[in-house]
Chains A and B, each alone.
Chain A
Amino acid sequence: MSKIKAIKNMTFYKQKNIIPVAKLEHELNIISDQIKQMNLPKGFLTFVLYVISELFANINEHSQAKKATVFLKISKQLCLINIADNGIGLRKSYLLKQIYAKDDFSAIEFALSGLSTKDFEGRGFGLHSIRKLAQELEGKMIMKTGLARAMIQKNKITFQNLNKRITGVKVDVEVPVKNINFYKIIT
């Protein structure tokens, strides 16, 4: 069960929870009901719901994961969204669709550039849009999968080798809480 605490002064904490993938939609409903009560800057509520919904959609559609972990914290200054799954990881999800990423770093690059695992009909924009939104807010996005870690900040991507292989995909978004013209940025 999720434990959500709304504290005074617009501070909102959500405990890190491990959720079955079948319950992701229910989890989003709970999160949405709680954070709608917060007095967030213009466009920011939509930003948070967009990030979480896109990451949940990716987990549901591509990861073959059984479980996901979700952490959300929104204070007056900072928003942290950490979502991870225990699925097959980015590289394998591309390989299953016969898209060959030579390593985990390439798979992350594909995902951030909007390359889809789906047939052409304009898909694959979820992670790409999250990246653009995080950059617009002057925040950062970190993706980890397999042995690769990528940090996207100020229009730069920095890659790092991980010492220990990660199962699935982990996405962290850390942004200041401020106004954003969401519909101008989204693609």
Chain B
Amino acid sequence: MTSSIHFTKKQLIFRSDAQKLFQRINRKIKQDGARHIVIDFSGVDFFSRSFIDEFLNGLNKFKKKGVKVQLKNIKPFLQMFINRVSTTKARIQKEFFMCRRRMS
């Protein structure tokens, strides 16, 4: 089942904004049994890096639970921002695990 979430805030600055979003997603999963969530960012003009970081962490957790989260109507420059942060996070994870493997 697919469910939609639409943002009304123009700017998403704080980690708590991402956490509130996840609460909404969890409610959709529990109440509606949704396994596919579409998040509409058409009203959003700007993210902070803090928000993106928390958002990507949450997306990962939903992915592991088998919930598909689709992002819709993100402005191109915001998509670039998300991609950039995502690349950095992936690099950090890789370095961290390589280091841990060498130490074990």
Docked-complex contact B88 and A28, CB < 8 angstroms:
no
Docked-complex contact B11 and A61, CB < 8 angstroms:
no
Size bracket, chain B contacts = 20 to 34
Q: A63 an interface residue at 8 Å Cβ cutoff?
A: no
Q: A97 an interface residue at 8 Å Cβ cutoff?
A: no
Contact residues of A between 20 and 37, Cβ < 8 Å to B: 24-25, 28-29, 32
Docked-complex contact A57 and B14, CB < 8 angstroms:
yes
Contact residues of A between 27 and 50, Cβ < 8 Å to B: 28-29, 32, 46, 49-50
Q: B71 an interface residue at 8 Å Cβ cutoff?
A: no
Bitwise, B37-74 to A at CB < 8 A (1) or not (0) is 00000000110111101000100000000000000000
Contact residues of A between 65 and 94, Cβ < 8 Å to B: none
Partner of A60, one of B14, B49, B85: B14
Tell me how far the C-beta of A14 lies from the nearest C-beta in chain B, rounded to whole angstroms.
Answer: 17
Contact residues of B between 71 and 94, Cβ < 8 Å to A: 77, 80-81, 84-85, 88-89, 92-93
Contact A32 B50, CB 8 Å, known A121-B57, A122-B88:
no
Docked-complex contact A122 and B49, CB < 8 angstroms:
no
The A interface is mostly helix, strand or loop, or mixed, namely helix
Size bracket, chain A contacts = 20 to 34
Which of A2-10, A99-107, A123-131, A153-161 forms contacts with chain B? A123-131
Q: B10 an interface residue at 8 Å Cβ cutoff?
A: yes
Bound together, the chains give a CA A32 to CA B12 distance in angstroms of 12
Residues of the A chain whose Cβ atoms lie less than 8 Å from the Cβ of B92: 122
Bound together, the chains give a CA A122 to CA B85 distance in angstroms of 9
Docked-complex contact A120 and B13, CB < 8 angstroms:
no
Tell me how far the C-beta of A19 lies from the nearest C-beta in chain B, rounded to whole angstroms.
Answer: 14
Q: A95 an interface residue at 8 Å Cβ cutoff?
A: no
Bound together, the chains give a CA A126 to CA B48 distance in angstroms of 9
Docked-complex contact A53 and B84, CB < 8 angstroms:
no
Residues of the B chain whose Cβ atoms lie less than 8 Å from the Cβ of A126: 49-50
Instruction: Beyond A121-B53, A123-B53, list 9 extra A-B contacts (CB 8 Å).
Output: A25-B13, A49-B46, A50-B48, A53-B11, A53-B49, A57-B48, A57-B50, A125-B53, A186-B85
16 contacts between A and B (CB under 8 A): A32-B10, A46-B77, A50-B48, A53-B11, A53-B50, A54-B50, A56-B14, A60-B13, A60-B16, A121-B53, A121-B57, A123-B50, A126-B50, A129-B49, A186-B81, A186-B84
Residues of A within 8 A of B (CB): 24-25, 28-29, 32, 46, 49-50, 53-54, 56-57, 60-61, 120-123, 125-126, 129, 183, 186-187
